Amino acid sequence: MSNEITITAARLIRDVPAAEVRIDDALIALSSLMTSVVTARRDTVGVPAVKGQAAIRRLMKAQVALVGVSGEILRIHGELADIGRETAGYDLHECPSIAGTVTGVQAGSA
């Protein structure tokens, strides 16, 4: 395997799980924001329930879109793992579970 493939693989092994974690973090942040917005609407005396409904719907759409992005990244992860097996001969039984974990490739090469 060429050094270029090793460097590229190390970069992907680092970056793909990191992207997955960041998307999960964004989904958690949106969920927290949704909780805060709905709680504020409920707890604010004198404000009709209709107020804030548009913001809540937009937050919901953003959450759905982010779940879609998460699914696409997971599919990309699988495709890249397949390419790694086919191209570089990696024996990938299990991808790194967290960003920064490297199996079979030196992380310092990236």
* 11 vs 65: CA distance, rounded Å: 27
Query: Is 57 a domain residue?
Result: yes
Which residues does 97 contact at the CB level (< 8 Å), separation at least 6?
17
Q: Are 21 and 98 in contact (CB under 8 A)?
A: yes
Q: Is residue 60 part of a domain?
A: yes
Angle at 95 between CA 23 and CA 87, to 5 degrees: 110
Residue 108 lies inside a defined structural domain of this protein: no
What share of the chain has pLDDT > 70, as a percent?
78
Rounded-to-integer distance, Cα 69 and Cα 31, Å: 16
In a domain, 102, yes or no: no
pLDDT above 60 (res 96): no
Per-residue model confidence as pLDDT tens digits over 30-78: 999 999 999 999 999 998 888 889 999 999 999 999 999 999 999 999 9
| Averaged pLDDT, 23-28 | 97
For residue 8, what pLDDT is reported? 87
Per the structure, the complete domain to which residue 62 belongs is given by: 3-96
Total structural domains in the chain?
1
Q: Calculate what percentage of the chain has a pLDDT beyond 90.
A: 56
pLDDT at 108 over 60: no
Mean pLDDT of the chain: 83
Residue 11 has pLDDT above 60, yes or no: yes
| HEC assignment per residue over 52-86 | CHHHHHHHHHHHHHHHHHHHHHHHHHHHHHHHHHH
Distance CA 92, CA 102 (A): 11
